[in-house]
Amino acid sequence: MVERWGGAGEERRSLPPVQVKRMLDLKIEGATVIDGTGTAGGRADVGIEGERIVAVGDLSRESASNRMHASGRVVAPGFIDMHSHSDWSLWANRRAESKIRQGVTTEVVGNCGFSPAPASDEFLDDLRSFGISALDFRWRSMKDYLAALDAGGLALNVVQLVGHGALRIAAMGFARRAPDAKELVRMQRLVADAMEDGAWGLSTGLIYAPGSYATTDEIVTLARVAARHRGFYASHIRGEGATLIEAVTEAITIGRDADLPVQISHLKAAGRPNWGKVAEALALIDAANAEGVDVAADAYPYTASSTLLRTLLPAWALEGGIAAMLARLRDPVSRARIRDEIERPPGGESIAMRVGWDNILIAWSPVRAEATGQRIQQIATSRGVAPVDAALDLLLDEHGGGAMIMFQMNEADFRRALLHPRVMIGSDGLAVAPYGDTSHGKPHPRTYGTFPRVLGEYVREQRLLSLAQAVHKMTGMPAKRLGLRDRGIIKVGARADLVIFDAKTVADRATFEEPHRYPTAIDHVLVNGRFVVKDGQHTGSLPGRVLTPP
């Protein structure tokens, strides 16, 4: 028997009884199971023993130590955040509050060239300044870093990438030049070591120093090492505005020449003059796959992006590291050059000019707390200075720190990306909480709302995707990209990473004004068979782990 369910083309199927010849640890009864494959959902029970799913179907005749009645709810695989930066925040928030309450059970971290390992004694201070939170850096290798992260317990699972920026810093600091032969060999060895130590691939952030100083050939050379270890290449590409198409082409070239899969991070067309270019970027992805180059992308459901405040500066201003950058900002001659290149960029486009000062919001300013939540234009007006000077003064006051949100994308571009069969979901956020060390500032609402926003806004309200399609983009699709055969899907033998939610009411609540808000209607989240969220509340359980590449 087949019944219609919940709109958007979903179905509910009554299944024959499944015989399980042992006591279940947990039986989830009467839910609509969306299994992560992209196929329509059906009514079924889910049986769990230990960390694994051992039965799916009609389990009405089976005994269980614990039973959960989930009628009217959806059971889906735990969501896999394909693009996250929580490796910098999990140390202060191992409960992973903002992510686990979205239903995220696995995060891919180390993106945009940012990873806390490997490290070198010579350039350790540069790596500290490169990061976005205070870590003790008691490790040097990826192996020791992952062991330390895992040992403290985690609410969710972690897939770690090795960042090209970290590699460059370990070998040559913030030098703005090509590596010499010795430095290149050093970086190759560090990639090999990191992959053997548990990294899943290589990431780049090609708008951030020192990654922006690298040539395509340098990246290909390092990506080939990752390829030999069956890794993939994830890139915050070199340009997301006027040079978007050239930057996508470069990423595809790296995948082709290094012979490894490519993941284009948070695909977007930034700045009004560039809106519409996402269609051309997606056409390039299609052409690459037709040629045999494995290229995919991820996106988040917002028209604003977020990054470090110092990204406003021309790349040369960060040569030598943060201390050198601050010295340049204090020097009248260098500051005048920086100011001029921000307002009249030699390449024709700077971030500030592309976005506009009134569209740049300060998200985090720990020293000048009054700036948090204000637009740079507002700050400039209140201080009686030009917006560019307000931004540079703020950077100086924050010792090179601070974060911003930029309202610069187009809704139609995101909708087009979301519909594409090679685009999955990635938040580009961190695991934070409304309390403690990670509660400061006004982070991008994607940190709390990415996954429920897709389910509420783009499935239920706009009906752009069916529920099964959306869940697939959050589960089965990223699992396939990672080679995770026992996660991202509900089937017998899979790990019991599960999220249980009400599809009729699930919604994000985080806003740009009030971002520290948990979503609604995500009732339960299990990681490796244990409840981390139960009845909407965090249990304190830390059953997650650092995952080992297959």
Tell me, yes or no, whether 146 and 38 share the same domain: no
Tell me, yes or no, whether 286 and 320 share the same domain: no
Tell me, yes or no, whether 156 and 176 share the same domain: yes
Q: What is the pLDDT of residue 7?
A: 36
Task: Choose one of 392, 425, 458: the last residue of a domain.
Answer: 425
Confirm whether 434 is domain-assigned.
Answer: no
Confirm whether 68 is domain-assigned.
Answer: yes
Give the separation between CA 244 and CA 503, rounded to whole angstroms.
36
Tell me, yes or no, whether 203 and 126 share the same domain: yes
DSSP-assigned letter for residue 430: -
Tell me, yes or no, whether 328 and 278 share the same domain: no
Q: What is the CATH number of the domain that holds 192?
A: 3.20.20.140
Task: Choose one of 425, 452, 473: the last residue of a domain.
Answer: 425
Phi and psi for 305 in degrees, rounded to 5?
A: -110, 175
Q: What is the CATH number of the domain that holds 461?
A: 2.30.40.10
Asked if the model's pLDDT at residue 331 lies above 90, the reply is: yes
Render pLDDT for 91-113 as a digit per residue (tens, 0 to 9): 999 999 999 999 999 999 999 99
Tell me, yes or no, whether 279 and 415 share the same domain: yes
Confirm whether 91 is domain-assigned.
Answer: no
Tell me, yes or no, whether 20 and 73 share the same domain: yes
Confirm whether 435 is domain-assigned.
Answer: no
Residue 130 confidence class, pLDDT cut points 50, 70, 90: confident
Tell me, yes or no, whether 403 and 456 share the same domain: no
Tell me, yes or no, whether 53 and 198 share the same domain: no
Residue 550 confidence class, pLDDT cut points 50, 70, 90: confident
Q: What is the pLDDT of residue 286?
A: 98
Q: Which of 516, 537, 495 is nearest to 157 (CA)?
A: 495
189: CB partners within 8 A, 6+ apart:
none
Residue 16 confidence class, pLDDT cut points 50, 70, 90: low
Compute CA 233 distance to the chain's CA centroid, rounded to the nearest angstrom. Answer: 14
Asked if the model's pLDDT at residue 242 lies above 70, the reply is: yes
Confirm whether 92 is domain-assigned.
Answer: no
Q: Which domain holds residue 35?
A: 1-77+441-540
The count of other CB atoms within 10 Å of the CB of residue 326 is 18
For range 171-188, the mean pLDDT: 98
Overall domain count for the chain? 3
Give the separation between CA 238 and CA 319, rounded to whole angstroms.
17
Give the separation between CA 111 and CA 82, rounded to whole angstroms.
9
Tell me, yes or no, whether 22 and 44 share the same domain: yes
Tell me, yes or no, whether 419 and 476 share the same domain: no
134: CB partners within 8 A, 6+ apart:
none
Task: Choose one of 398, 425, 452: the last residue of a domain.
Answer: 425
Confirm whether 396 is domain-assigned.
Answer: yes
Tell me, yes or no, whether 502 and 472 share the same domain: yes
Confirm whether 85 is domain-assigned.
Answer: no
For range 362-376, the mean pLDDT: 96
Confirm whether 90 is domain-assigned.
Answer: no
